[in-house]
């Protein structure tokens, strides 16, 4: 029987950059999932992305975002009819400095419920070192228009780039009474 | 043995205090969560909470977007680590703030995220998103937290939790 | 002979959980984050859900959930908190949010008979989505403090309905009462919560 708050799996990119990584065969014994990550982008202006259940067609994803670069804007944005969760807005993730990995956090509530489409929280918090050295907070609610239970989560970055060495991802399960 | 989500230390102030410090932080967790319910005696609606890691207050960068009740704002700063009410808002009302600090023992710069709110029976109250970075590769062994204005008042509480990954 | 407790009520009553049982050598799991109770709305919906007799064995509370409001015309709905049955004008709340375009918005309510935890960030039957929510209540039994609540909520339903397609933001709220929280009522706006709305209450130890 799972404990209330429990790590499920951890992945660290080592050796060479990877295009993506999939947490597969996610146990269906929890209530919520939290994905805590420390991520940088390979190149200028990368943002983190998520795919659920290996679904990359059908434009089943959408997001409502609140974002700021700390200098020019604190605004809202939306992405509709997407083929993944992409919340890139301004400066994106840190890059170019191998010491910088920004927190990227995703909450998946009631992920095993097969009666509802799945709404998630998805955020990253980059204080500096993004596009042209900029900062970027991007906080979003996202919709995956599928009633399937979430059995896999694939992490990547956008703009056709790869996930650099040193990025870490840990999936936790939370079990309600 | 570190379990997944565990209290490391808690502090409750019984008198006005200039700053608090969590020292000798165990290096057995993966991430830290720093939770505060505090208030300053500075004559202001809200003031920043400032951090030192390992006794250092340099090398920090912060970005923030916030609401002030009737307005919004955004800024870049240095070692802001949340916000707390000063003496002006409704009495007995303390901050509610959480810092998520991943990979605090790693040999890379330390990035973190913060959600902070203050409250007030008036129009002015604050809700902040912060992103921060400490440009130092040292493992974090101590956290010092200080209000930018005034001192922490009695009743302020601070909690440090460890998160252990798989 | 070791005897272990593995019921939900044992957790709610603060009895420790053990890593192994029936082996005469049990190791107590020390965890600061524990599940207390879950409230799920069944068919027919509900105007509110409620957690009562909240144990005093924790320091903080967290509520995690999904919520949908029964509401025509709009894809966005609201939710509110009341503590210990107090419906007096003893609450204040504020937020900063995105409505999916334009500048971020801030909203103040200095005095109210309930605390908004959503302000448009729950889904509705019209939009077909659920909102997600994480509510953090620190020092909930501290008798020297008003109770300040921090909430992340958000919803999205892909298109737009009546001009709105989704909201996301950070909410704050205060209950101007120093009493320990023993009861939390979560109230849905308009025609209330729909089936599958679910809130789970967790306790976090601080000592």
Nearest chain C Cα distance for residue A98, angstroms: 31
Nearest chain A Cα distance for residue C13, angstroms: 13
Query: Of A9, A135, A166, which has the smallest distance from its Cβ to B131's Cβ?
Result: A135
Determine contact: B165 vs chain A, CB below 8 A.
yes
Determine contact: A125 vs chain C, CB below 8 A.
no
Neighbours of C, requiring at least 3 CB pairs below 8 Å, are A, B
- pLDDT interval class at C6 (50, 70, 90): very low
Q: Tell me the mean pLDDT in the region A124-138.
A: 93
Return the closest-CA partner of residue A117 out of C99, C168, C124, C199: C124
Nearest chain A Cα distance for residue B64, angstroms: 6
Q: For B78, which DSSP code? A: S
Contact C156 A142 (CB under 8 A): yes
pLDDT tops 70 at residue C27: no
Tell which of A3, A29, A77, A119 to mutate to test the C interface (max C CBs under 10 Å).
A119
Average pLDDT, chain A: 95
Nearest chain A Cα distance for residue C37, angstroms: 5
Main-chain dihedrals φ then ψ at residue C9, nearest 5 degrees: -70, -30
Query: Of A4, A32, A140, which has the smallest distance from its Cβ to C31's Cβ?
Result: A4
Q: Tell me the mean pLDDT in the region B44-56.
A: 97
- pLDDT interval class at B1 (50, 70, 90): low
Q: Tell me the mean pLDDT in the region A146-172.
A: 96
Q: For A151, which DSSP code? A: -
Query: Of A6, A10, A70, which has the smallest distance from its Cβ to B64's Cβ?
Result: A70
Taking the C-alpha atoms of residue A104 and residue A123, their distance in angstroms, rounded to an integer, is 6
pLDDT tops 90 at residue C9: no
- Average the pLDDT over each of A85-99, A146-160, C62-76 and give the range with the smallest value: A85-99
For residue A51 the two structure tokens come to 């795919």
Residues of A in contact with C201 (CB under 8 A): 177
Residues of C in contact with B22 (CB under 8 A): none
Query: Of A8, A103, A166, which has the smallest distance from its Cβ to B166's Cβ?
Result: A8
Reduced to 3 states (helix: H, G, I; strand: E, B; else coil), residue C166 is strand
Residues of B in contact with A38 (CB under 8 A): 102-103, 111
Contact B119 C33 (CB under 8 A): no
Chain A neighbours among B 6-45 (CB < 8 Å)?
30-31
In whole angstroms, how far apart are CA A38 and each of A35, A105, B78, B104?
10, 9, 21, 11
Nearest chain A Cα distance for residue C199, angstroms: 9
In whole angstroms, how far apart are CA C95 and each of A9, C61, C101, C122?
35, 20, 17, 14
Q: How many residues does chain B have?
A: 166
Contact B113 A103 (CB under 8 A): yes
User: ipTM value of the model?
Assistant: 0.97
Q: What is the pLDDT of residues C162-205, one digit of tens each?
A: 999 999 999 999 999 999 999 999 999 999 999 999 999 999 99
Q: Which residue of B has its CA nearest to A128?
A: B61
Main-chain dihedrals φ then ψ at residue C11, nearest 5 degrees: -70, -45
CB atoms inside a 10 Å sphere around CB C123 = 32
Reduced to 3 states (helix: H, G, I; strand: E, B; else coil), residue C11 is helix
């Amino acid at each position: 029987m799972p404990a209330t708050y429990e790590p499920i799996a951890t992945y660290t990119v080592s050796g060479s950059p990877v295009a993506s990584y999939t947490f597969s065969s996610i146990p269906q014994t929890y209530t919520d999932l939290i994905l805590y990550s420390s991520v940088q982008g390979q190149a200028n202006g990368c943002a983190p992305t998520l795919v659920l259940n290996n679904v990359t067609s059908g434009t089943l994803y959408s997001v409502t975002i609140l974002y700021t670069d700390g200098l020019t804007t604190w605004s809202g944005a939306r992405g509709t009819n997407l083929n993944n969760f992409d919340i890139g807005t301004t400066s994106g993730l840190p890059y170019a400095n191998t010491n910088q990995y920004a927190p990227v956090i995703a909450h998946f509530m009631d992920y095993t419920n097969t009666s509802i489409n799945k709404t998630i929280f998805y955020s990253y918090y980059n204080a500096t070192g993004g596009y042209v050295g900029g900062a970027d907070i991007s906080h979003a609610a996202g919709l995956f228009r599928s009633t399937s239970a979430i059995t896999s989560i694939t992490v990547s970055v956008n703009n056709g780039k790869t996930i650099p060495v040193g990025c870490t991802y840990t999936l936790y399960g939370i079990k309600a009474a | 043995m570190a379990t997944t989500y565990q209290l490391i230390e808690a502090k409750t102030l019984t008198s006005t205090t200039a700053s608090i410090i969590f020292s000798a932080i165990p290096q057995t967790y993966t991430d830290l969560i720093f939770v505060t319910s505090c208030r300053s005696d500075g004559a202001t609606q809200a003031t920043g909470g400032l951090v030192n890691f390992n006794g250092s207050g340099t090398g920090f960068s912060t970005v923030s977007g916030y609401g002030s009740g009737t307005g919004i704002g955004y800024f870049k700063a240095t070692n802001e680590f949340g916000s707390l009410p000063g003496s002006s808002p409704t009495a007995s009302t303390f901050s509610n703030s959480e810092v998520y600090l991943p990979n605090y023992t790693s040999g890379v710069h330390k990035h973190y995220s913060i959600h902070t709110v203050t409250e007030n029976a008036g129009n002015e109250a604050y809700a902040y998103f912060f992103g921060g970075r400490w440009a130092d590769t040292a493992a974090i062994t101590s956290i010092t937290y200080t209000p930018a204005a005034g001192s922490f008042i009695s009743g302020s509480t601070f909690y440090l939790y460890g998160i252990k990954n798989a | 002979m070791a005897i272990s407790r593995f019921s939900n009520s044992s957790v709610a009553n603060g009895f420790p959980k053990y890593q192994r049982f029936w082996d005469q050598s049990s190791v107590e799991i020390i965890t600061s984050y524990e599940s207390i109770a879950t409230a799920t709305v069944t068919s027919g919906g509900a105007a509110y859900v409620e957690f009562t007799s909240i144990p005093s064995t924790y320091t903080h509370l967290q509520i995690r959930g999904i919520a949908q409001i029964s509401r025509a015309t709009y894809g966005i709905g609201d939710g509110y908190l009341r503590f210990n049955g107090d419906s007096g004008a003893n609450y204040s709340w504020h937020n900063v949010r995105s409505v999916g375009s334009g500048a971020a918005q801030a909203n103040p309510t200095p005095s109210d008979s309930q605390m908004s935890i959503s302000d448009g960030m729950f889904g509705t039957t019209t939009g077909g989505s659920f909102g997600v929510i994480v509510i953090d209540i620190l020092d909930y039994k501290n008798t020297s403090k008003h109770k300040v609540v921090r909430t992340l909520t958000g919803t999205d339903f892909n298109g737009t309905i009546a001009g709105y397609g989704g909201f996301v933001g950070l909410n704050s709220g205060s209950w101007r009462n120093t009493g320990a929280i023993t009861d939390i009522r979560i109230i849905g706006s308009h025609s209330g919560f729909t089936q599958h709305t679910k809130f789970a209450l967790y306790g976090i130890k601080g000592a």
